Structure 1
Amino acid sequence: MKQLFTLMVLFATTFLFAQEAETTEKKFSFEGSVDAYYRANFTAPNDTNQIAPATSFADTAGFSLGMGNIIASYEKGKAGAVADLVFGPRGEAASATVLNQLFAFYNISENTKLTIGKFNTFLGYEVISPVGNFNYSTSYLFSNGPFSHTGLKVDFTLSEDLSLMLGVFNQTDVTEFNPDGSYAIGAQLGYDGQFLNLLYDDAGLGFEVDYTGGFDATEDFFIGINAAYADNDGEGFYGVDLYPQYALSETFSLGLRGEFFQTQSEAIDDDPSVIAFTLTGSYAVDDLIIKPEIRLDSGSEDIFIDKDLMATKSLGSFVVAAIYKF
């Protein structure tokens, strides 16, 4: 029976590739980005890299490097592949290797796409690459959620506004191999730019439900929204982020990220929380984007250090970043 099944799979694969060989249209693209920044604390010393918000990126003092990103994609007919490479501290914090994403895909039909390999997570409002975010530093929700998955997913376009993704993956953020034979399952339901995301990973993150979306209040004013809840046997987090963004001109925009984030643990009586406000400007000069940013983090407990090296509940910091996309 196993041999018959294997032969059937091989026959089907051969048939698909034989059909594919009839198509000669080829598409190749090459793109990427580089970024660097300067960071300083207002309310804490800058002679140590340890005093920073407990989020993923832009957390070192002085002039610092972000990452170099190189993305090559190739498509012929219905099939294609993407190789996304990252170098530098931001890439190293997000990926165990330089392979940020590495996947192949097959368009089964106009409305169905099959993808296998490593790809960035479908949960959350923010992404690893600074090109895809308005704010340069990242949120607590992003930093505590998954970064990437390795597995198989199928994307369905159900109508012009309605989409569905179903997937099975290795343990969350263990993306180069499967260490213990456990798997995670995920789903995303999208409607008109609003997305409900679900992930269940019993051996890793646990269960997370995430809503990501937004709407145009006016032609120049956009409000993004992200809310998430995660639980793994009583350990987890929940929170909500709002992202109002206003375009003052064709080259300059202002954006504010307001966030409430709380961890939860059965071992702690009073779970700590953080309220953070991040005001970011975005000024475009051709393909170069300059982003000055002021960030204020306030915790329910003394989780930061002030200029006198005393424990305190708040931290004020400043970042200016340069991002070039090609």
Structure 2
Amino acid sequence: MKTIINTKFVKNLAFAALALTSVGVFAQEEEEKPKFTFSGTVDAYFRSNFNGLNKEIPAFDTAGDLTGVFTPAAPGTSFANDPGFAIGMVNLIAGYEGEKVGFVADLVFGPRGEDAVFNSFGSPAIVNQLYVYWNVSESTTLTFGNFNTFLGYEVISPSANFNYSTSYMFSYGPFSHTGIKADFDLGNDWSAMLAILNPTDFTDFNPFGELSFGAQLGYSGQFLNFIYGKQGDEEFVNGAGELVEGDVESLFQVDFTGGFDVTEDFFLGINATYQDTDDLGFYGVALYPQLATSENFTIGLRGEYFAESGNFGAIGTGVEDSDVIAVTLTGSATIGDLIIKPELRLDSASDDFFLDSDLEPGDSLASFLLAAIYSF
């Protein structure tokens, strides 16, 4: 990755000084040139339940017609929910960084990518991020296009999360936005961001004519995030072909994301969030303690409490104001560019959400997962 320039020792001191000066100018010119980057990940996993089904079962409607497959014994969260050996995704990220401007093109292929990229309008669901940016000054950057959300502790990329499975707060918060945002470096470890956005996860275009607004205030790695706006259309055509007024309430979410190095080897992350859309929403908090036991191995825990307001549907019991406690213990072993993650997870809900191997409903699920992530 580095360019190493060797110079021979010469007898003439003046010539040596001139040569070193030339090398310094050359290196400076090299640093100022725009650079193209290419990186990504590949991931796969194995998942098994201790007290639930480890296969998909067919689902039928009331008329007895097959409607698809139903996997009831999995946490109600995003990604890593398939039984047995399964694949995640291929993530390919190309970037071009100039002195003032650049772009990022982030493509995903595979089940995890398909789940991450919402698409209701027919175009290929492979674009995870696609944006251009302009460094207006040393303290201000404008970004235009489709970018992953600024809310929450966890992200779509498996290499950037400590736990391989994801939290409830991540799964039901925003994934991505399309719009324009301005990031400001305020100095003394303070930062801020303002954004004008499409409705959440409508990344190809805006079908509703509504805008959302985002904001972030940061200090020394701690971030307070906000998003507000209507996520649907005020008008729609009913079954009779008539244009009628809808009742779309604005979504409001406030989110805190941060972390602290307690010691050189011990890190504590935290995420707390609250989302409300009139009488529906959720709130929760999660702690992420992580301890590095050696240069190549870290063990970490995610303890999350997640609760619904009304019958939000995330936990899926059909009962209003349900909640769940999810505890995930993950090991992370690094072997070169490969990361192996064994994981134990226990989800305990307030109502009978899970099905056991006899198809009997229960309020808890214990599972094991082994993931492999290669980064390049």
- TM-score computed with the length of structure 2 as normaliser: 0.79
Q: Which range is displaced more, 300-309 or 86-95?
A: 300-309
For residues 245 and 124 of structure 1, the distance between their equivalents in structure 2, rounded to whole angstroms, comes to 18
2:36 alignment partner, one of 15, 19, 28: 28
8 Å contact kept, 2:292–2:298:
yes
2:348 alignment partner, one of 298, 306, 312: 298
Q: Secondary structure in 2 aligned to 1:317?
A: strand
2:152 alignment partner, one of 124, 148, 171: 124
For residues 373 and 299 of structure 2, the distance between their equivalents in structure 1, rounded to whole angstroms, comes to 16
Query: What residue is the counterpart of 1:6 in the other structure?
Result: none
Query: What residue is the counterpart of 2:333 in the other structure?
Result: 283
Find out whether 1:322 has 2:330 as its counterpart.
Answer: no
State the Cα distance separating 1:27 from its structure 2 match: 1.2
Structure 2 counterpart of 1:300, which letter? S
Query: What residue is the counterpart of 2:116 in the other structure?
Result: 94
Query: What residue is the counterpart of 2:281 in the other structure?
Result: 236
Query: What residue is the counterpart of 2:218 in the other structure?
Result: 190
Cα-to-partner distance string for 1:159-211 (whole Å, 9 max, x where unaligned): 14100000000010011001011000000000011000000022257000000
Cα-to-partner distance string for 1:35-54 (whole Å, 9 max, x where unaligned): 00000000012122331000
Cα gap change, 1:26 to 1:87, in 2 (>3 Å): same
Cα-to-partner distance string for 1:264-305 (whole Å, 9 max, x where unaligned): 117988410000000000000000000000000000000001
Q: Which range is displaced more, 44-53 or 285-294?
A: 44-53
Structure 2 counterpart of 1:130, which letter? P
Find out whether 1:217 has 2:262 as its counterpart.
Answer: yes
For residues 275 and 266 of structure 1, the distance between their equivalents in structure 2, rounded to whole angstroms, comes to 17
Query: What residue is the counterpart of 2:16 in the other structure?
Result: none
Query: What residue is the counterpart of 2:302 in the other structure?
Result: 257
Query: What residue is the counterpart of 2:291 in the other structure?
Result: 246
For residues 321 and 155 of structure 1, the distance between their equivalents in structure 2, rounded to whole angstroms, comes to 35
Find out whether 1:113 has 2:134 as its counterpart.
Answer: no
Structure 1 counterpart of 2:47, which letter? R
For residues 191 and 269 of structure 1, the distance between their equivalents in structure 2, rounded to whole angstroms, comes to 39
Query: What residue is the counterpart of 2:25 in the other structure?
Result: none
Aligned-residue CA RMSD in angstroms? 1.5
- Alignment coverage as a number of residue pairs: 304
Structure 2 unmatched runs, 5+:
1-30, 57-70, 120-124, 233-249, 313-317
For residues 54 and 158 of structure 2, the distance between their equivalents in structure 1, rounded to whole angstroms, comes to 24
State the Cα distance separating 1:25 from its structure 2 match: 2.1
Structure 2 counterpart of 1:77, which letter? E
For residues 155 and 29 of structure 1, the distance between their equivalents in structure 2, rounded to whole angstroms, comes to 22
Identity percentage over the alignment?
Answer: 60
For residues 263 and 100 of structure 2, the distance between their equivalents in structure 1, rounded to whole angstroms, comes to 38
- TM-score computed with the length of structure 1 as normaliser: 0.91
Query: What residue is the counterpart of 1:56 in the other structure?
Result: 78
Q: Secondary structure in 1 aligned to 2:169?
A: helix
For residues 72 and 308 of structure 2, the distance between their equivalents in structure 1, rounded to whole angstroms, comes to 21
Structure 1 unmatched runs, 5+:
1-22
Find out whether 1:77 has 2:118 as its counterpart.
Answer: no
Query: What residue is the counterpart of 1:10 in the other structure?
Result: none
8 Å contact kept, 2:41–2:374:
yes
Structure 2 counterpart of 1:309, which letter? L
Structure 2 counterpart of 1:279, which letter? L
1:172 alignment partner, one of 200, 211, 216: 200
For residues 55 and 203 of structure 1, the distance between their equivalents in structure 2, rounded to whole angstroms, comes to 21
1:103 alignment partner, one of 123, 126, 131: 131
For residues 219 and 198 of structure 1, the distance between their equivalents in structure 2, rounded to whole angstroms, comes to 31
State the Cα distance separating 1:93 from its structure 2 match: 0.2
Alignment of 1:39-54 (within 5 A): 39-48=47-56, 49-54=71-76
Q: Secondary structure in 1 aligned to 2:171?
A: helix
Higher-Rg member (1/2): 2
2:166 alignment partner, one of 134, 138, 147: 138
Structure 2 counterpart of 1:26, which letter? P
8 Å contact kept, 2:180–2:197:
yes
State the Cα distance separating 1:233 from its structure 2 match: 1.0
State the Cα distance separating 1:122 from its structure 2 match: 0.1
For residues 61 and 47 of structure 1, the distance between their equivalents in structure 2, rounded to whole angstroms, comes to 6
Cα-to-partner distance string for 1:48-103 (whole Å, 9 max, x where unaligned): 23310000010000000101000000022200011000000000001031110000
For residues 340 and 99 of structure 2, the distance between their equivalents in structure 1, rounded to whole angstroms, comes to 39
Q: Secondary structure in 1 aligned to 2:209?
A: coil
For residues 92 and 100 of structure 1, the distance between their equivalents in structure 2, rounded to whole angstroms, comes to 9
For residues 24 and 325 of structure 1, the distance between their equivalents in structure 2, rounded to whole angstroms, comes to 27
